[in-house]
Structure 1
Amino acid sequence: MVLVEPFARMATNPAFLVQVIWEGFVSGVLYALIALGFVLIFKASGVFNFAQGIMVVFAALTLVGLHEAGVPAWVAVALALVVMYVLAVGVERIVLRPLVNQPDIILLMATIGLTRVLVGFGELVFGGEPKVMIANELGIPSGVWRIPLFDRVVVIKLIDLTAAIVAIVMVAGLAFFFSRTRIGRALRAVADDHQAALSVGISLEQIWVIVWFAAGIVALVTGIMWGARSDVSFALEIIALKALPVLILGGFTSVPGAIVGGLIIGIGEKIGEIYWGRLIGGGIESWLAYMIALLFLLFRPQGLFGEKIIERV
């Protein structure tokens, strides 16, 4: 019954299946966008940035808070970017520079500490209540687009369509940045070997500021898009951590892996929840991504597109 009934429902109502896949696709590209923030930091420093999730929340709260203080919407966006740049400089000066060449676990613990600092500071400045994203003020369209399909109608929210387009553009831009620019090549060099990068004149401090600021831009865009689809609150940090299974699935250093992993997780959990949820107890969206990640850790820990690392002893 569990194996057959969902597929029968898909076959009898293909328009609804398309609707479910579309909603999963939107979630997937947003997961991929969050994952790219993690990939940026990992490529430049070789450490997992546990703070990326709270950076999404902090950037969105900064934008909304500035607007509530009377700052025009697009000026607030510019000022929020300035805040993320200041954060990048602060992280490089206070956290990363003193910890150069320390073990990766030390840097990971530092990013966990940074997470708690941003949570506490965010709650102090913005409070703990959910806030409404300024979607209309930023020109993000509302309403729906109804598409006739298989004698039924597929409903596409314009806000979801906008989010998908923005995420795809950001992903393409970051892929170009990594593969075609001098800074992107410098980022990869720094990640491979800090000392070798320094020996050929690459400034570790500048690279880290650039990459953390780029991750901050990704966090702000992600916060705007997720916040436009729901409220802006610290609960978004939990959603942002869905990028962890995406990274495990696609590979921690792979931009294409982040894209493919995000789509697999987004579409997979949506289909699982809608078609299998009521048959096996529901709540599939909350654990399916982590179950997939566990399977990959057991059988392909480097992910779909990650490089297998062989160490000689």
Structure 2
Amino acid sequence: MRAVVYYRYGGPEVLEPAELAEPKLGPDSVLVRTRAAGVNPVDWKLRSGYLDTLIETHFPVVPGWDLAGVVERVGPDVTEYAPGDEVIGYVREDHVQRGTHAELVAAPVRTLARKPAGCSWAQAAGLPLAGLTAYQALGRGLGLAEGETLLVHAAAGGVGSLAVQIARARGARVIGTAGPANHDFLRGLGAEPVAYGEGLAERVRELAPGGVDAVLDSVGGETLEDSAGLLAASGRLVSIADPGVNGMGGRYVFVRPDTADLTALGALVDEGKLTVEVAATFPLERTADAQALSAEGHTRGKIVVELG
């Protein structure tokens, strides 16, 4: 089967096409023929070795944790799916080796949900990791409630744009930081945009003089530190980028596979309350270019690799 692999840590140049054997199918897994696979910042961070102390890596590595595809075969203990079912998945295991940038992926059922009918394969592939990150950060991270005001940093990005829509579906008011070129995009999602950079705190206070109820940070560093001063008295702070938030009375959230959460996201898509903005698509053979674009950090929405 076709796949993309890397045999050592490094830049995009270490990625190369490969022909691999069909993966073995465990008792509680399904074999998925991949139609599209999402590209996320964690992919190039893993490839560069930045997370080597956090996650065990076994070379060669097939990158990717997101997929959308069709079930080809099921393991002997699987009753949830049958061949022909269309699924999406955040296929993360506790080590890095067998990713989703391959024609066939053996995916544990705990990482999967049914594909929403109301989106394309590319949109479906862009939903799992970013959507779950936003959903879990707003839910178990912040406990965001109807009528509250949420500040989302990098609101036009993959996680941010989905967080805006999920928060609006919960009945929250959303203020989102982004460059001026993305302000109309954010307004279309239901957010009140503010430009990031110098003077950000003052611009947010103009919109929320009493402070915001919650902040979702995906930048870290100074942005995270400044965010603490924008909270109302009972405000909550979550970061998906900087574990230092734990020392500030906030919470660091690292996304986990969850079928129920992924199913809930799919329902929002089918209800017309959530859409995935696809910034760019690449063929499998250009995964290196897709990761390089992701590493630039200025993409609106999601980057996706298509396998056809």
More helix by share: 1
Please give the TM-score of this superposition, normalised by the length of structure 2. 0.24
Q: Which structure exhibits the higher relative contact order, with contacts defined as CA atoms closer than 8 Å and separated by 6 or more residues?
A: 1
Please give the TM-score of this superposition, normalised by the length of structure 1. 0.24
More strand by share: 2
